[in-house]
A = this chain, B = another copy of it.
Amino acid sequence: MAAAKSVRRTENERLKIEMEVEHTLGWLFPDIHRLLSKDFESRFVGLGLTRAQWRVLFTIDRAGVPLTQTEIADLTEIEKAPLGKTLDRLEQGGWIVRKSDPRDRRARRVSVTAKIEKAFPLAAAAAKGTFARALQGMRQSEVKELIAKLEKLKRNLGGADD
């Protein structure tokens, strides 16, 4: 009995060691995400926008045409329901306008307001500062390589190509 228990212990000990790499690698993603948001938001102040909200706003602007909420959800890979909440906050802040589509009365086309224009310089400066810090000591070629690997990893997991 003692022997059997000892064997099982050892097997789990082996598993724990095996799991170390995955554990380390896996948790780097949320950790870096959190640190990036924290740093970015500390620079991107005074507008009352979070990094997640900026992602949505930037995505809509980049499209160049009003988008339905479903289209925004696809582009940002956020589910429709929580995206709707984020859009509520952006609408309340005067950053976006929702107009019902005359050709599909279920849909609401979302477009950015002129207010976004003054946000670009601030967002650009914040992003530049954050990534200068994050990537310090890395050559541009290394950064490109890093992005390529991360995109491959994302694609492997079934994530959209963006």
A65 at the interface (CB under 8 A from B): no
Residues of chain A touching chain B, judged by Cβ–Cβ distance below 8 Å, are 8, 11-12, 15-16, 18-19, 21-36, 39-40, 51, 55, 58, 61-62, 77, 117, 120-121, 123-124, 127-128, 130-131, 133-138, 142-143, 146-147, 149-154, 156-159, 162
Which residue of the partner chain, among B8, B55, B136, B142, contacts A156 with CB atoms under 8 Å? B136
A28-B151, A31-B154, A134-B157 known, 14 other contacts, Cβ within 8 Å: A16-B58, A19-B124, A23-B127, A25-B131, A26-B130, A26-B131, A28-B150, A29-B36, A31-B159, A32-B154, A34-B77, A134-B153, A134-B156, A142-B149
Q: Is the CB of B124 within 8 A of A137?
A: no
Are A58's CB and B156's CB within 8 A? no
Which residues of B lie under 8 Å from residue A22 when comparing CB positions? 127-128, 130-131
Complex A-B, nearest 8 residue pairs according to Cβ-Cβ distance, in ascending order = A35-B157, A29-B33, A15-B124, A22-B127, A12-B120, A28-B150, A30-B33, A22-B131
Copies per assembly: 2
> Is the pair B157, A24 in contact by a Cβ cutoff of 8 Å?
no
Pair A127/B55 contact, Cβ less than 8 Å:
no
Q: Which among B32, B128, B159 is the interface contact of A35 at CB below 8 angstroms? A: B159
Residue in chain B with minimal CB distance to A153: B134
Closest to A23 in B: B58
Given contacts A35-B158, A156-B136, contact A147 B29 (CB under 8 A): no
